Structure 1
Amino acid sequence: MDNLLALATDPAAWAALVTLVTMEVVLGIDNLVFISIVTNKLPPTHRYKAQRIGIALALVLRLALLGTVAWITRLTEPALSLFGHAFSWRDLVLLSGGLFLVWKATTEIHHNVTGDVHELADETVSAAHTMLTPRAAIAQILMLDLVFSIDSIVTAVGMTSHVAIMYIAVIVAVAAMLVAAAPLSRFIEQNPTIVMLALSFLLVIGMTLIAEGFGSHVPKGYIYAAMAFSAFVEGMNMLARRARLHRRQRRAG
Protein backbone atom coordinates (compact mmCIF):
# COMPACT_ATOMS: atom_id res chain seq x y z
CA MET A 1 0.00 0.00 0.00
CA ASP A 2 2.84 2.40 0.88
CA ASN A 3 4.42 1.72 -2.52
CA LEU A 4 1.14 2.56 -4.27
CA LEU A 5 0.79 5.82 -2.31
CA ALA A 6 4.37 6.71 -3.16
CA LEU A 7 3.70 6.07 -6.85
CA ALA A 8 0.51 8.16 -6.71
CA THR A 9 2.48 11.19 -5.51
CA ASP A 10 5.44 10.68 -7.84
CA PRO A 11 5.31 12.88 -11.00
CA ALA A 12 7.76 10.53 -12.75
CA ALA A 13 5.36 7.62 -12.17
CA TRP A 14 2.47 9.59 -13.69
CA ALA A 15 4.61 10.48 -16.69
CA ALA A 16 5.54 6.82 -17.11
CA LEU A 17 1.86 5.83 -16.82
CA VAL A 18 0.72 8.31 -19.48
CA THR A 19 3.53 7.23 -21.82
CA LEU A 20 2.80 3.55 -21.28
CA VAL A 21 -0.98 3.95 -21.72
CA THR A 22 -0.38 5.82 -24.99
CA MET A 23 1.99 3.11 -26.19
CA GLU A 24 -0.39 0.31 -25.23
CA VAL A 25 -3.32 2.02 -27.00
CA VAL A 26 -1.24 2.52 -30.16
CA LEU A 27 -0.02 -1.08 -30.11
CA GLY A 28 -3.61 -2.20 -29.53
CA ILE A 29 -4.66 -0.68 -32.87
CA ASP A 30 -2.96 -3.57 -34.69
CA ASN A 31 -4.88 -6.10 -32.62
CA LEU A 32 -8.15 -4.20 -33.01
CA VAL A 33 -7.90 -3.97 -36.80
CA PHE A 34 -7.32 -7.73 -36.98
CA ILE A 35 -10.26 -8.46 -34.65
CA SER A 36 -12.54 -6.22 -36.75
CA ILE A 37 -11.48 -7.86 -40.04
CA VAL A 38 -11.97 -11.39 -38.69
CA THR A 39 -15.25 -10.83 -36.86
CA ASN A 40 -16.82 -8.99 -39.83
CA LYS A 41 -16.78 -12.36 -41.61
CA LEU A 42 -19.06 -13.82 -38.93
CA PRO A 43 -22.87 -13.69 -39.08
CA PRO A 44 -24.11 -10.46 -37.41
CA THR A 45 -25.63 -12.43 -34.52
CA HIS A 46 -22.19 -13.72 -33.46
CA ARG A 47 -20.01 -10.75 -34.47
CA TYR A 48 -20.02 -8.57 -31.37
CA LYS A 49 -19.92 -11.52 -28.98
CA ALA A 50 -16.76 -12.76 -30.73
CA GLN A 51 -15.25 -9.26 -30.48
CA ARG A 52 -15.90 -9.09 -26.75
CA ILE A 53 -14.46 -12.58 -26.24
CA GLY A 54 -11.38 -11.72 -28.31
CA ILE A 55 -10.72 -8.51 -26.38
CA ALA A 56 -11.38 -10.26 -23.05
CA LEU A 57 -8.80 -12.89 -24.03
CA ALA A 58 -6.33 -10.08 -24.81
CA LEU A 59 -6.86 -8.67 -21.31
CA VAL A 60 -6.53 -12.08 -19.62
CA LEU A 61 -3.35 -12.89 -21.57
CA ARG A 62 -1.69 -9.57 -20.81
CA LEU A 63 -2.57 -9.62 -17.12
CA ALA A 64 -1.37 -13.23 -16.87
CA LEU A 65 1.90 -12.35 -18.60
CA LEU A 66 2.38 -9.39 -16.27
CA GLY A 67 2.19 -11.87 -13.39
CA THR A 68 5.25 -13.62 -14.84
CA VAL A 69 7.44 -10.59 -15.60
CA ALA A 70 10.62 -12.43 -14.63
CA TRP A 71 9.78 -15.19 -17.12
CA ILE A 72 8.87 -12.65 -19.82
CA THR A 73 12.27 -10.96 -19.53
CA ARG A 74 13.95 -14.33 -20.10
CA LEU A 75 12.09 -14.68 -23.41
CA THR A 76 14.54 -12.17 -24.89
CA GLU A 77 17.54 -14.41 -24.14
CA PRO A 78 18.89 -16.55 -27.05
CA ALA A 79 17.11 -19.91 -27.26
CA LEU A 80 18.56 -21.42 -30.46
CA SER A 81 20.84 -20.53 -33.33
CA LEU A 82 20.08 -21.02 -37.03
CA PHE A 83 22.35 -20.03 -39.93
CA GLY A 84 24.61 -18.13 -37.57
CA HIS A 85 21.76 -16.06 -36.09
CA ALA A 86 20.57 -16.43 -32.50
CA PHE A 87 16.80 -16.46 -31.96
CA SER A 88 15.05 -15.88 -28.64
CA TRP A 89 11.61 -17.29 -27.85
CA ARG A 90 10.20 -13.79 -28.35
CA ASP A 91 11.76 -13.71 -31.83
CA LEU A 92 10.14 -17.05 -32.68
CA VAL A 93 6.73 -15.86 -31.43
CA LEU A 94 7.01 -12.67 -33.49
CA LEU A 95 8.09 -14.66 -36.57
CA SER A 96 5.17 -17.07 -36.30
CA GLY A 97 2.71 -14.23 -35.70
CA GLY A 98 4.13 -12.22 -38.59
CA LEU A 99 3.91 -15.16 -40.98
CA PHE A 100 0.32 -15.82 -39.89
CA LEU A 101 -0.62 -12.16 -40.43
CA VAL A 102 0.99 -12.09 -43.88
CA TRP A 103 -0.84 -15.31 -44.83
CA LYS A 104 -4.16 -14.04 -43.44
CA ALA A 105 -3.91 -10.61 -45.08
CA THR A 106 -2.82 -12.07 -48.43
CA THR A 107 -5.69 -14.58 -48.37
CA GLU A 108 -8.25 -11.89 -47.54
CA ILE A 109 -6.88 -9.52 -50.20
CA HIS A 110 -7.12 -12.32 -52.76
CA HIS A 111 -10.71 -12.99 -51.73
CA ASN A 112 -11.62 -9.29 -51.96
CA VAL A 113 -10.06 -8.97 -55.40
CA THR A 114 -11.73 -12.12 -56.81
CA GLY A 115 -14.88 -12.08 -54.64
CA ASP A 116 -17.16 -10.50 -57.24
CA VAL A 117 -16.32 -13.20 -59.77
CA HIS A 118 -17.05 -15.96 -57.27
CA GLU A 119 -20.32 -14.33 -56.26
CA LEU A 120 -21.46 -14.10 -59.86
CA ALA A 121 -20.53 -17.73 -60.42
CA ASP A 122 -22.09 -19.12 -57.29
CA GLU A 123 -23.39 -16.89 -54.48
CA THR A 124 -23.99 -19.81 -52.14
CA VAL A 125 -20.42 -21.11 -52.43
CA SER A 126 -19.05 -17.61 -52.00
CA ALA A 127 -21.07 -17.06 -48.84
CA ALA A 128 -19.86 -20.36 -47.43
CA HIS A 129 -16.24 -19.35 -48.06
CA THR A 130 -16.60 -15.86 -46.57
CA MET A 131 -18.26 -16.99 -43.34
CA LEU A 132 -16.15 -18.26 -40.47
CA THR A 133 -17.41 -20.20 -37.51
CA PRO A 134 -17.24 -18.29 -34.21
CA ARG A 135 -14.78 -20.86 -32.81
CA ALA A 136 -12.44 -20.47 -35.81
CA ALA A 137 -12.56 -16.68 -35.53
CA ILE A 138 -11.84 -16.75 -31.77
CA ALA A 139 -8.96 -19.22 -32.33
CA GLN A 140 -7.37 -16.83 -34.85
CA ILE A 141 -7.90 -13.87 -32.52
CA LEU A 142 -6.38 -15.82 -29.61
CA MET A 143 -3.24 -16.61 -31.63
CA LEU A 144 -2.69 -12.95 -32.54
CA ASP A 145 -3.59 -11.86 -29.00
CA LEU A 146 -0.68 -13.96 -27.74
CA VAL A 147 1.76 -12.40 -30.23
CA PHE A 148 0.68 -8.82 -29.57
CA SER A 149 0.51 -9.42 -25.81
CA ILE A 150 4.09 -10.70 -25.57
CA ASP A 151 5.36 -7.82 -27.72
CA SER A 152 3.37 -5.33 -25.64
CA ILE A 153 4.54 -6.67 -22.27
CA VAL A 154 8.21 -6.91 -23.32
CA THR A 155 8.02 -3.26 -24.43
CA ALA A 156 6.31 -2.27 -21.17
CA VAL A 157 8.98 -4.02 -19.09
CA GLY A 158 11.60 -1.98 -20.92
CA MET A 159 9.82 1.29 -20.09
CA THR A 160 9.13 0.95 -16.37
CA SER A 161 9.99 -1.32 -13.48
CA HIS A 162 6.70 -0.70 -11.63
CA VAL A 163 4.32 -3.60 -12.20
CA ALA A 164 1.36 -1.57 -10.85
CA ILE A 165 1.84 0.99 -13.65
CA MET A 166 1.94 -1.83 -16.20
CA TYR A 167 -1.33 -3.29 -14.87
CA ILE A 168 -3.12 0.07 -15.01
CA ALA A 169 -1.81 0.80 -18.53
CA VAL A 170 -2.92 -2.60 -19.84
CA ILE A 171 -6.41 -2.32 -18.31
CA VAL A 172 -6.92 1.21 -19.70
CA ALA A 173 -5.68 0.19 -23.17
CA VAL A 174 -7.90 -2.91 -23.35
CA ALA A 175 -10.89 -0.87 -22.10
CA ALA A 176 -10.25 1.56 -24.98
CA MET A 177 -10.17 -1.39 -27.39
CA LEU A 178 -13.50 -2.62 -26.02
CA VAL A 179 -15.11 0.80 -26.56
CA ALA A 180 -13.67 1.23 -30.08
CA ALA A 181 -14.26 -2.34 -31.37
CA ALA A 182 -17.91 -2.08 -32.42
CA PRO A 183 -17.67 1.38 -34.09
CA LEU A 184 -14.51 0.35 -35.97
CA SER A 185 -16.12 -2.90 -37.11
CA ARG A 186 -19.22 -1.05 -38.37
CA PHE A 187 -17.10 1.56 -40.13
CA ILE A 188 -15.05 -1.10 -41.93
CA GLU A 189 -18.21 -2.99 -42.91
CA GLN A 190 -19.96 0.13 -44.25
CA ASN A 191 -16.95 1.29 -46.27
CA PRO A 192 -15.68 -1.55 -48.51
CA THR A 193 -12.60 0.39 -49.65
CA ILE A 194 -11.46 0.61 -46.03
CA VAL A 195 -11.29 -3.20 -45.92
CA MET A 196 -8.48 -3.25 -48.47
CA LEU A 197 -6.66 -0.48 -46.62
CA ALA A 198 -7.00 -2.35 -43.31
CA LEU A 199 -5.73 -5.56 -44.91
CA SER A 200 -2.76 -3.64 -46.29
CA PHE A 201 -2.07 -2.42 -42.74
CA LEU A 202 -2.14 -6.02 -41.50
CA LEU A 203 0.30 -7.00 -44.27
CA VAL A 204 2.70 -4.23 -43.23
CA ILE A 205 2.35 -5.18 -39.55
CA GLY A 206 3.05 -8.83 -40.41
CA MET A 207 6.22 -7.90 -42.32
CA THR A 208 7.27 -5.69 -39.40
CA LEU A 209 6.84 -8.60 -36.95
CA ILE A 210 8.93 -10.84 -39.23
CA ALA A 211 11.66 -8.19 -39.41
CA GLU A 212 11.59 -7.84 -35.59
CA GLY A 213 11.81 -11.61 -35.28
CA PHE A 214 15.02 -11.56 -37.34
CA GLY A 215 16.46 -8.86 -35.09
CA SER A 216 15.91 -5.88 -37.42
CA HIS A 217 14.19 -3.19 -35.37
CA VAL A 218 11.67 -1.16 -37.36
CA PRO A 219 10.73 2.14 -35.67
CA LYS A 220 7.00 1.94 -35.03
CA GLY A 221 6.65 5.68 -35.54
CA TYR A 222 7.38 5.35 -39.25
CA ILE A 223 4.84 2.54 -39.61
CA TYR A 224 2.03 4.36 -37.81
CA ALA A 225 2.80 7.65 -39.58
CA ALA A 226 2.47 5.89 -42.95
CA MET A 227 -0.75 4.21 -41.81
CA ALA A 228 -2.17 7.53 -40.59
CA PHE A 229 -1.29 9.25 -43.88
CA SER A 230 -2.91 6.43 -45.89
CA ALA A 231 -6.03 6.65 -43.74
CA PHE A 232 -6.11 10.45 -44.26
CA VAL A 233 -5.86 10.06 -48.06
CA GLU A 234 -8.63 7.44 -48.05
CA GLY A 235 -10.75 9.75 -45.90
CA MET A 236 -10.34 12.50 -48.50
CA ASN A 237 -11.33 10.03 -51.22
CA MET A 238 -14.44 9.05 -49.26
CA LEU A 239 -15.45 12.72 -48.87
CA ALA A 240 -14.89 13.30 -52.59
CA ARG A 241 -17.03 10.26 -53.52
CA ARG A 242 -19.76 11.41 -51.16
CA ALA A 243 -19.73 14.93 -52.67
CA ARG A 244 -20.00 13.50 -56.22
CA LEU A 245 -22.92 11.31 -55.13
CA HIS A 246 -24.74 14.31 -53.62
CA ARG A 247 -24.20 16.32 -56.82
CA ARG A 248 -25.63 13.47 -58.95
CA GLN A 249 -28.64 13.18 -56.63
CA ARG A 250 -29.32 16.93 -56.85
CA ARG A 251 -29.10 16.83 -60.65
CA ALA A 252 -31.40 13.78 -60.78
CA GLY A 253 -33.88 15.47 -58.43
Structure 2
Amino acid sequence: MEAILALLASPAAWAALVTLIVMEVVLGIDNLIFISILSNKLPEGQRQKARRVGISLALVMRLALLTMIAWIVGLTAPVFDLGIVGPLDAHGEPAFETRFSWRDLILLAGGLFLVWKATTEIHHSVDSGAHDTDDLLDKKKVVSITFTAAIVQILLLDIVFSIDSILTAVGMTEHVEIMYVAVVFAVTVMLLAADPLANFINRNPTVVMLALGFLLMIGMVLIAEAFGAHVPKGYIYTAMAFSAAVEGLNIWSRRAKERRAAANQPRSTH
Protein backbone atom coordinates (compact mmCIF):
# COMPACT_ATOMS: atom_id res chain seq x y z
CA MET A 1 0.00 0.00 0.00
CA GLU A 2 2.84 2.38 0.86
CA ALA A 3 4.45 1.67 -2.50
CA ILE A 4 1.21 2.59 -4.33
CA LEU A 5 0.86 5.83 -2.33
CA ALA A 6 4.47 6.68 -3.14
CA LEU A 7 3.75 6.20 -6.85
CA LEU A 8 0.64 8.40 -6.64
CA ALA A 9 2.74 11.16 -5.11
CA SER A 10 5.52 10.87 -7.70
CA PRO A 11 5.39 13.23 -10.73
CA ALA A 12 7.81 10.92 -12.55
CA ALA A 13 5.40 8.01 -12.10
CA TRP A 14 2.52 10.06 -13.50
CA ALA A 15 4.66 11.12 -16.49
CA ALA A 16 5.60 7.50 -17.13
CA LEU A 17 1.95 6.47 -16.88
CA VAL A 18 0.75 9.07 -19.40
CA THR A 19 3.59 8.27 -21.81
CA LEU A 20 2.97 4.54 -21.52
CA ILE A 21 -0.79 4.95 -22.03
CA VAL A 22 -0.17 6.89 -25.25
CA MET A 23 2.30 4.25 -26.46
CA GLU A 24 -0.05 1.39 -25.61
CA VAL A 25 -2.99 3.07 -27.38
CA VAL A 26 -0.86 3.66 -30.50
CA LEU A 27 0.41 0.07 -30.47
CA GLY A 28 -3.19 -1.12 -30.05
CA ILE A 29 -4.19 0.50 -33.36
CA ASP A 30 -2.57 -2.36 -35.29
CA ASN A 31 -4.47 -4.93 -33.26
CA LEU A 32 -7.73 -3.02 -33.66
CA ILE A 33 -7.46 -2.69 -37.45
CA PHE A 34 -6.98 -6.44 -37.79
CA ILE A 35 -9.92 -7.21 -35.49
CA SER A 36 -12.16 -4.74 -37.37
CA ILE A 37 -11.38 -6.19 -40.80
CA LEU A 38 -11.76 -9.78 -39.64
CA SER A 39 -15.01 -9.19 -37.72
CA ASN A 40 -16.60 -7.49 -40.74
CA LYS A 41 -16.34 -10.78 -42.63
CA LEU A 42 -18.76 -12.40 -40.19
CA PRO A 43 -22.57 -12.26 -40.29
CA GLU A 44 -23.76 -8.92 -38.95
CA GLY A 45 -25.20 -10.48 -35.79
CA GLN A 46 -21.81 -11.93 -34.80
CA ARG A 47 -19.55 -8.97 -35.56
CA GLN A 48 -19.88 -7.08 -32.30
CA LYS A 49 -19.52 -10.29 -30.31
CA ALA A 50 -16.32 -11.18 -32.19
CA ARG A 51 -14.87 -7.72 -31.53
CA ARG A 52 -15.77 -7.93 -27.83
CA VAL A 53 -14.27 -11.42 -27.49
CA GLY A 54 -11.15 -10.47 -29.46
CA ILE A 55 -10.43 -7.36 -27.41
CA SER A 56 -11.24 -9.16 -24.15
CA LEU A 57 -8.72 -11.84 -25.12
CA ALA A 58 -6.18 -9.08 -25.80
CA LEU A 59 -6.73 -7.70 -22.28
CA VAL A 60 -6.48 -11.15 -20.66
CA MET A 61 -3.34 -11.88 -22.69
CA ARG A 62 -1.63 -8.65 -21.67
CA LEU A 63 -2.55 -8.97 -17.99
CA ALA A 64 -1.41 -12.60 -17.94
CA LEU A 65 1.91 -11.67 -19.55
CA LEU A 66 2.41 -8.88 -17.01
CA THR A 67 2.39 -11.50 -14.27
CA MET A 68 5.24 -13.25 -16.09
CA ILE A 69 7.47 -10.25 -16.75
CA ALA A 70 10.66 -12.14 -15.89
CA TRP A 71 9.75 -14.79 -18.46
CA ILE A 72 8.83 -12.14 -21.05
CA VAL A 73 12.15 -10.33 -20.61
CA GLY A 74 13.88 -13.68 -21.02
CA LEU A 75 12.32 -14.01 -24.48
CA THR A 76 14.82 -11.42 -25.73
CA ALA A 77 17.81 -13.70 -24.98
CA PRO A 78 19.26 -15.34 -28.15
CA VAL A 79 18.35 -19.01 -28.52
CA PHE A 80 20.34 -19.77 -31.69
CA ASP A 81 22.65 -18.11 -34.20
CA LEU A 82 22.64 -18.83 -37.92
CA GLY A 83 26.27 -17.72 -38.08
CA ILE A 84 25.71 -15.87 -41.35
CA VAL A 85 27.84 -12.79 -41.98
CA GLY A 86 25.46 -10.32 -43.59
CA PRO A 87 26.14 -6.98 -45.30
CA LEU A 88 27.39 -4.09 -43.18
CA ASP A 89 25.66 -0.73 -42.76
CA ALA A 90 27.25 2.72 -42.98
CA HIS A 91 28.65 2.35 -39.45
CA GLY A 92 30.34 -0.97 -40.15
CA GLU A 93 27.72 -2.92 -38.18
CA PRO A 94 25.74 -5.90 -39.52
CA ALA A 95 22.68 -4.71 -41.44
CA PHE A 96 20.59 -7.48 -39.89
CA GLU A 97 20.85 -9.91 -37.01
CA THR A 98 21.46 -13.63 -37.45
CA ARG A 99 20.91 -14.37 -33.75
CA PHE A 100 17.27 -15.07 -32.97
CA SER A 101 15.43 -14.95 -29.66
CA TRP A 102 11.96 -16.33 -28.95
CA ARG A 103 10.64 -12.78 -29.28
CA ASP A 104 12.21 -12.52 -32.75
CA LEU A 105 10.65 -15.82 -33.80
CA ILE A 106 7.22 -14.73 -32.51
CA LEU A 107 7.50 -11.40 -34.35
CA LEU A 108 8.63 -13.23 -37.50
CA ALA A 109 5.69 -15.63 -37.35
CA GLY A 110 3.25 -12.78 -36.68
CA GLY A 111 4.70 -10.68 -39.49
CA LEU A 112 4.50 -13.54 -41.98
CA PHE A 113 0.91 -14.24 -40.91
CA LEU A 114 -0.07 -10.57 -41.39
CA VAL A 115 1.61 -10.41 -44.80
CA TRP A 116 -0.13 -13.63 -45.86
CA LYS A 117 -3.50 -12.49 -44.52
CA ALA A 118 -3.32 -8.99 -46.05
CA THR A 119 -2.09 -10.33 -49.40
CA THR A 120 -4.86 -12.94 -49.49
CA GLU A 121 -7.54 -10.33 -48.73
CA ILE A 122 -6.13 -7.90 -51.31
CA HIS A 123 -6.08 -10.67 -53.93
CA HIS A 124 -9.66 -11.57 -53.04
CA SER A 125 -10.78 -7.95 -53.46
CA VAL A 126 -8.96 -7.50 -56.77
CA ASP A 127 -10.11 -10.88 -58.13
CA SER A 128 -13.71 -10.12 -57.19
CA GLY A 129 -13.39 -6.73 -58.86
CA ALA A 130 -12.42 -8.43 -62.10
CA HIS A 131 -15.90 -9.94 -62.26
CA ASP A 132 -17.81 -6.98 -60.86
CA THR A 133 -16.36 -3.48 -61.03
CA ASP A 134 -18.78 -2.29 -58.39
CA ASP A 135 -17.79 -5.00 -55.91
CA LEU A 136 -15.70 -2.69 -53.72
CA LEU A 137 -18.65 -0.37 -53.36
CA ASP A 138 -21.13 -3.16 -52.67
CA LYS A 139 -22.13 -2.96 -49.02
CA LYS A 140 -23.38 -6.55 -48.90
CA LYS A 141 -20.49 -8.54 -47.50
CA VAL A 142 -19.91 -12.16 -48.46
CA VAL A 143 -19.36 -14.27 -45.37
CA SER A 144 -16.11 -16.19 -45.93
CA ILE A 145 -15.07 -17.05 -42.39
CA THR A 146 -16.61 -18.75 -39.37
CA PHE A 147 -16.83 -17.25 -35.90
CA THR A 148 -14.39 -19.82 -34.49
CA ALA A 149 -11.88 -19.22 -37.28
CA ALA A 150 -12.09 -15.47 -36.69
CA ILE A 151 -11.47 -15.84 -32.94
CA VAL A 152 -8.52 -18.20 -33.53
CA GLN A 153 -6.89 -15.74 -35.93
CA ILE A 154 -7.54 -12.83 -33.57
CA LEU A 155 -6.06 -14.84 -30.70
CA LEU A 156 -2.89 -15.59 -32.68
CA LEU A 157 -2.34 -11.91 -33.46
CA ASP A 158 -3.26 -10.95 -29.89
CA ILE A 159 -0.29 -13.05 -28.73
CA VAL A 160 2.12 -11.24 -31.07
CA PHE A 161 0.85 -7.74 -30.31
CA SER A 162 0.60 -8.46 -26.58
CA ILE A 163 4.24 -9.54 -26.31
CA ASP A 164 5.33 -6.47 -28.27
CA SER A 165 3.16 -4.28 -26.03
CA ILE A 166 4.49 -5.73 -22.77
CA LEU A 167 8.12 -5.50 -23.90
CA THR A 168 7.51 -1.84 -24.72
CA ALA A 169 6.05 -1.31 -21.25
CA VAL A 170 9.01 -3.05 -19.59
CA GLY A 171 11.39 -0.80 -21.48
CA MET A 172 9.62 2.37 -20.33
CA THR A 173 9.03 1.74 -16.62
CA GLU A 174 9.99 -0.72 -13.91
CA HIS A 175 6.76 -0.35 -11.94
CA VAL A 176 4.32 -3.18 -12.65
CA GLU A 177 1.42 -1.16 -11.20
CA ILE A 178 1.90 1.51 -13.88
CA MET A 179 1.98 -1.17 -16.58
CA TYR A 180 -1.32 -2.66 -15.35
CA VAL A 181 -3.09 0.72 -15.38
CA ALA A 182 -1.72 1.63 -18.82
CA VAL A 183 -2.72 -1.73 -20.34
CA VAL A 184 -6.26 -1.62 -18.90
CA PHE A 185 -6.73 1.98 -20.10
CA ALA A 186 -5.40 1.22 -23.60
CA VAL A 187 -7.59 -1.88 -24.02
CA THR A 188 -10.61 0.11 -22.78
CA VAL A 189 -9.94 2.66 -25.53
CA MET A 190 -9.74 -0.21 -28.02
CA LEU A 191 -13.07 -1.53 -26.76
CA LEU A 192 -14.76 1.86 -27.18
CA ALA A 193 -13.24 2.47 -30.61
CA ALA A 194 -13.85 -1.02 -32.03
CA ASP A 195 -17.46 -0.60 -33.16
CA PRO A 196 -17.10 2.93 -34.64
CA LEU A 197 -13.96 1.89 -36.55
CA ALA A 198 -15.46 -1.37 -37.84
CA ASN A 199 -18.71 0.38 -38.83
CA PHE A 200 -16.77 3.13 -40.62
CA ILE A 201 -14.86 0.50 -42.60
CA ASN A 202 -18.13 -1.29 -43.35
CA ARG A 203 -19.78 1.92 -44.60
CA ASN A 204 -16.76 2.82 -46.72
CA PRO A 205 -15.59 -0.40 -48.40
CA THR A 206 -12.77 1.39 -50.25
CA VAL A 207 -11.14 1.99 -46.85
CA VAL A 208 -10.69 -1.78 -46.57
CA MET A 209 -7.90 -1.67 -49.16
CA LEU A 210 -6.15 1.09 -47.21
CA ALA A 211 -6.48 -0.88 -43.96
CA LEU A 212 -5.12 -4.00 -45.67
CA GLY A 213 -2.18 -1.91 -46.87
CA PHE A 214 -1.59 -0.90 -43.25
CA LEU A 215 -1.61 -4.55 -42.16
CA LEU A 216 0.82 -5.42 -44.96
CA MET A 217 3.17 -2.65 -43.85
CA ILE A 218 2.88 -3.68 -40.19
CA GLY A 219 3.67 -7.27 -41.14
CA MET A 220 6.80 -6.18 -42.99
CA VAL A 221 7.88 -4.07 -40.00
CA LEU A 222 7.45 -7.07 -37.67
CA ILE A 223 9.58 -9.20 -40.01
CA ALA A 224 12.25 -6.48 -40.17
CA GLU A 225 12.33 -6.20 -36.37
CA ALA A 226 12.65 -9.98 -36.10
CA PHE A 227 15.89 -9.64 -38.09
CA GLY A 228 17.12 -6.85 -35.82
CA ALA A 229 16.33 -3.94 -38.15
CA HIS A 230 14.80 -1.21 -36.00
CA VAL A 231 12.10 0.81 -37.77
CA PRO A 232 11.11 3.98 -35.86
CA LYS A 233 7.41 3.67 -35.00
CA GLY A 234 6.97 7.42 -35.47
CA TYR A 235 7.63 7.10 -39.21
CA ILE A 236 5.19 4.22 -39.53
CA TYR A 237 2.29 5.90 -37.75
CA THR A 238 2.94 9.24 -39.45
CA ALA A 239 2.68 7.52 -42.83
CA MET A 240 -0.50 5.76 -41.72
CA ALA A 241 -2.02 9.03 -40.47
CA PHE A 242 -1.14 10.81 -43.73
CA SER A 243 -2.64 8.01 -45.84
CA ALA A 244 -5.79 8.00 -43.71
CA ALA A 245 -6.09 11.79 -44.10
CA VAL A 246 -5.81 11.50 -47.91
CA GLU A 247 -8.45 8.77 -47.97
CA GLY A 248 -10.64 10.96 -45.76
CA LEU A 249 -10.39 13.75 -48.34
CA ASN A 250 -11.33 11.26 -51.07
CA ILE A 251 -14.40 10.15 -49.11
CA TRP A 252 -15.37 13.79 -48.48
CA SER A 253 -14.97 14.56 -52.19
CA ARG A 254 -17.10 11.59 -53.27
CA ARG A 255 -19.88 12.48 -50.85
CA ALA A 256 -19.85 16.10 -52.01
CA LYS A 257 -20.23 14.94 -55.62
CA GLU A 258 -23.08 12.62 -54.64
CA ARG A 259 -24.88 15.47 -52.86
CA ARG A 260 -24.47 17.77 -55.89
CA ALA A 261 -25.69 15.02 -58.24
CA ALA A 262 -28.72 14.40 -56.02
CA ALA A 263 -29.49 18.13 -55.84
CA ASN A 264 -29.30 18.47 -59.66
CA GLN A 265 -31.68 15.59 -60.35
CA PRO A 266 -35.09 16.78 -61.60
CA ARG A 267 -37.82 16.36 -59.02
CA SER A 268 -40.84 14.25 -59.86
CA THR A 269 -44.04 16.22 -60.52
CA HIS A 270 -46.19 13.41 -59.10
**TM-score over 0.5 (shorter chain):** yes
Contact kept in structure 1, 2:40 and 2:202, CA below 8 Å: yes
Give the Cα separation in 1 of the matches to 2:254 and 2:208: 16
Say if 2:221 is the partner of 1:201. no
State the aligned residue count.
247
Matching residue's letter, 1:109: I
Residue 124 of structure 1 is matched in structure 2 by: none
Contact kept in structure 2, 1:43 and 1:131, CA below 8 Å: no
Give the Cα separation in 1 of the matches to 2:31 and 2:71: 23
Contact kept in structure 1, 2:201 and 2:207, CA below 8 Å: yes
Indicate the SS of the match to 1:72.
helix
Give the Cα separation in 2 of the matches to 1:46 and 1:105: 22
Change (3 A) 1:227 1:159: same
Alpha-carbon distance, 1:129 to partner: 7.1
Give the Cα separation in 1 of the matches to 2:143 and 2:236: 29
Alpha-carbon distance, 1:93 to partner: 0.2
Contact kept in structure 2, 1:77 and 1:89, CA below 8 Å: yes
Matching residue's letter, 1:205: I
Matching residue's letter, 1:218: V
Give the Cα separation in 1 of the matches to 2:265 and 2:163: 56
For residue 94 of structure 1, the aligned residue among 100, 104, 107 is 107
Residue 147 of structure 1 is matched in structure 2 by: 160
Matching residue's letter, 2:76: T
Matching residue's letter, 1:156: A
Give the Cα separation in 2 of the matches to 1:37 and 1:230: 17
Q: Give the structure-2-normalised TM-score.
A: 0.89
Larger radius of gyration, structure 1 or 2? 2
Give the Cα separation in 1 of the matches to 2:108 and 2:7: 36
Say if 2:179 is the partner of 1:166. yes
Note the 1:1-253 alignment, pairs <5 A.
Answer: 1-84=1-84, 85-117=98-130, 130-253=143-266
Instruction: Give the helix-richer structure, 1 or 2.
Output: 1
Matching residue's letter, 1:46: Q
Give the Cα separation in 1 of the matches to 2:193 and 2:201: 12
Q: Give the structure-1-normalised TM-score.
A: 0.95
For structure 1, the 5+ residue unaligned runs are: 121-126
Cα deviation code 1:161-215 (max 9, x no counterpart): 0000000000000000000001101000000110000000000000000000000
Give the Cα separation in 1 of the matches to 2:125 and 2:237: 24
Identity %: 65
Calculate the aligned-residue CA RMSD, in Å.
1.5
Matching residue's letter, 2:43: P
Matching residue's letter, 2:199: R
Give the Cα separation in 1 of the matches to 2:180 and 2:245: 33
Matching residue's letter, 1:113: V
Give the Cα separation in 1 of the matches to 2:129 and 2:143: 12
Give the Cα separation in 2 of the matches to 1:226 and 1:128: 29
Residue 123 of structure 1 is matched in structure 2 by: none
